[in-house]
A and B are shown apart, each in its own frame.
Chain A
Amino acid sequence: MTRLTTTLASAALLLSAGTAFAQDVLRVSAIPDEAPTELARKFAPLGAYLEKETGIKVQFVPVTDYAGVVTALTSDKLDMAWLGGFTYVQAAQRGKVIPLVQREEDTKFTSKFIASTASGANSLKDLKGKSFAFGSASSTSGHLMPRFFLQKEGIKPETFFKNVAYSGAHDATVAWVASGKVDGGALNSSVWDKLVEGHKVDLTKVKVIGTTPPFYDYNWTVRGNLDPALVKKITAAFLKLDPKNPEQKNILELQRATRFVPTKPDNYRGIESAAREAGLLK
């Protein structure tokens, strides 16, 4: 009997060693709010920088599903992830996670409401009875907050619009509106600005018809049981990114950040109550 117990105990130890093993690689992912190729392109220099600063190999795990990132982080299959406000709240509800830093821009984030010029809409009210697209159902700036602010204006999407669709990602929403597949949509202002600056959107076909009030959004979050010393190193690496350094400027630009600032769970109380009010969180 004792022998069996010993065998079982050592087997359990061996198994747990697999997960609690001294960190030799940092597994990082991001919610797929843009096309997977775009996410990988954005991350590459940041990954190299973190590798240099922490002395640990950084591996980017591409994930195509919002909820998948949340599950992977809370079940220790990822060490760090770039989450949206709502996905962070979901992760915090499902396990122990620590939000580290966010872009300065994320402290006053907004979403844009857009419409196709062909629809003739100039305001949200004009979209009554037309079709409308959110991004992913799990997106903060592509779904939750636009929905929340629509409800504040007395607009219940499911009855106000002819039909409500989920495009899956911010850039997809723009593509849908531009093609006339839907009449209106909502997406995060940062992606909208990037598409406009890069001339990726035909402004004769799509126009902005509204902007939401500001809210807290995206952050970089680690799993709760990650080595504290490593957590400190990662945080410091983000915080000292300096736009004056040309190499680091490139990293910040790809992340569309002026600089990174520390963040804390309390910043996301507003998102949490918005999610409850919108019926997306129980």
Chain B
Amino acid sequence: MLNPARDPAFGQRLVGTLLLLALLAPTFVLTGFNPFVLFHQDTWQVWLGFVAGFLPPAHGTDFLGEVLRETVTTLASATLGLALAVAIGLPAALATSRALDAARLTAEPPSRLAETAKSLLRGLLVALRGVPEIVWALLFVRAVGLGSLPAVLAIGIAYGGMLGKVYAEILESQPAEPARALAASGAGRLARFAWAALPQALPELVSYSVYRWECAIRASAVMGFVGAGGVGQLIDTSLKMLNGGEVSTLLLVFLLLVMLTEAISQLCRHALDSRAGTTGIAVATLAAVLGSWWWLRQGWPNDAFDFASLGHFAVEFFPPAHDAALLTSAAHGILETLAMSLLGSALAFVGGALLAVPAAGRFGATLKALSRLLLNLLRGVPDLMWAALAVLAVGLGPAAGVLALTLHTSGVLGRLFAETLENAAPEPERALLAAGAGHFAAFAYGQLPQVLAQWVAYTLYRWENNIRIATVLGIVGAGGIGTQLYLALSLFQQTTAATLIIAMLLLSWAVEALSRALRRRMES
């Protein structure tokens, strides 16, 4: 136990902690998150009843057949969605990457028209990736009907915007000499791309795309929450019906799927080292994309690509509503979203730190293995799925959002924290122990100062991420501005929905700009 006599800075620490809690107090009020509710007897009864229902996992043949079908659909939607994203992102990168600009490679003055077009295209990409993929899915579910097509389009569009930016940056990070040589001999943009930039950047492009494919599978698995098919749809139904046995089977399947994709992507990265491996990847990719198309196509309506009705649908969103009542409630939604993300990240810092210490092996191998397993579970289940589960534990509203963010982020941070602990130099702590310090004091003075700055940096980065996630948790009933968006779309109040989406975009841009500015200041 902590012994104040052994910790000279105990008073300071106490004051610091209390000050931090006082700063966080408004977020507790705003989100209505009461940690003590979690320890209430009532909550535990509901929760235990539900968890007891988890066992045994459902294993009826019909049910398993359905799970298998939907799992394949989830995989296929992610694969086809990513193919669409590459089809959007690669040409966009080709058009916008500064690495291919003649002005940078030769002395030729830039054409104003081309520069304007490029800026416009970059702006479009920002908008595509600024709207979260689950919101795209919700919109497409309404526009093109249900099933897997909305999931494919949502992943394609949101990830297309992301790939366009990252691909362009990857091209920019390569040595410019080959492109310059080609440019000097009069080769066009496409030739500079195909013969200079692409061959250099290929391994990195592939490796990033594979990473995005992993993300796409996680995204695809939760799209069923808005009616876009896949495993998520089954989880949504089972959760609503409080059928714990089905939920546990589905969660197990989902975790297996995540592990499988991680293994496949590892394999891909290794295969890139050899020529035969590269060909293998190309063939496998082609087969996977065609197979996905074939599998999903059967479920799509014949007139799936009815662009006229898509157009009608889009027009309904204009002009965005802007009455005072809506703006006030949107502002409140934003505030709630921010409070959720802040409190969730702060609690996850504590949770991550508490789990990181055993996960770094400080309390023996058994505890290390157990805490690692827990971390993987927390991290492996997507935030939106945690939110749907948290709604059961603490009821609908922002408190569930806070719990979901805390759980998922604790898993992410705990793993990162454990790594920093393992990498920290052990000597200072040993020296303190040798000098007769207690275990706690030795840890607090020998280890913690080495890692704390890194921990805070990781947490701030996750917070930025969590703000974006908090905007969509409302879709499953976990508070924030997403709740309002879901309701508006359910009641066909499209102009209201437009305003809320714009508010989400502005929030996401503001956070991105702020964090970029902060990072620049910290670097300089």
Contacts and interface: CB of A to CB of B under 8 A. Distances in A.
Interface of A: 18-19, 35-36, 61-68, 70-72, 75-77, 90, 93-94, 131, 136-138, 163, 165-169, 171-172, 175-176, 179-182, 280-282
Contact of B303 (A19, A66, A280): A19
Nearest to A280: B491
A237 to B, nearest CB: 24
Nearest to A171: B241
B398 to A, nearest CB: 10
A94 B316 CA distance: 11
B491 A71 contact: no
A63 B227 contact: yes
A71 B142 contact: yes
Interface of B: 42, 45-46, 49-50, 141-143, 145-146, 224, 226-227, 233, 236-237, 240-242, 301-303, 306, 309, 312-313, 392, 395-397, 477, 487, 489-493
A163 B46 CA distance: 18
Which of B50, B233, B303 has the largest count of A CB atoms less than 10 A from its CB?
B303
Contacts of A90: 491-492
A50 to B, nearest CB: 20
Contacts of B309: 75
A89 to B, nearest CB: 11
A64 B227 contact: yes
A42 to B, nearest CB: 16
Contacts of B50: 179
25 contacts: A18-B302, A18-B303, A19-B306, A35-B237, A61-B146, A63-B146, A64-B237, A67-B142, A68-B141, A68-B142, A68-B227, A75-B306, A75-B312, A77-B145, A77-B301, A90-B491, A90-B492, A137-B487, A163-B397, A165-B396, A165-B477, A166-B396, A176-B242, A179-B242, A182-B395
Please name the 5 residue pairs, one residue from A and one from B, whose CB atoms are nearest each other, closest first.
Answer: A65-B227, A165-B396, A172-B240, A64-B227, A75-B309
Given A36-B237, A75-B306, A171-B241, A67 B397 contact: no
Given A77-B301, A93-B492, A171-B241, 17 more contacts: A19-B306, A35-B240, A36-B237, A62-B146, A64-B146, A64-B224, A65-B141, A66-B490, A67-B492, A71-B142, A75-B306, A75-B312, A77-B145, A137-B487, A137-B491, A165-B396, A181-B46
A181 B392 contact: yes
A179 B146 contact: no
A67 B146 contact: no
Contacts of A61: 146
A64 B395 contact: no
B241 A175 contact: yes
B453 to A, nearest CB: 40
Contact of B233 (A64, A163, A175): A64
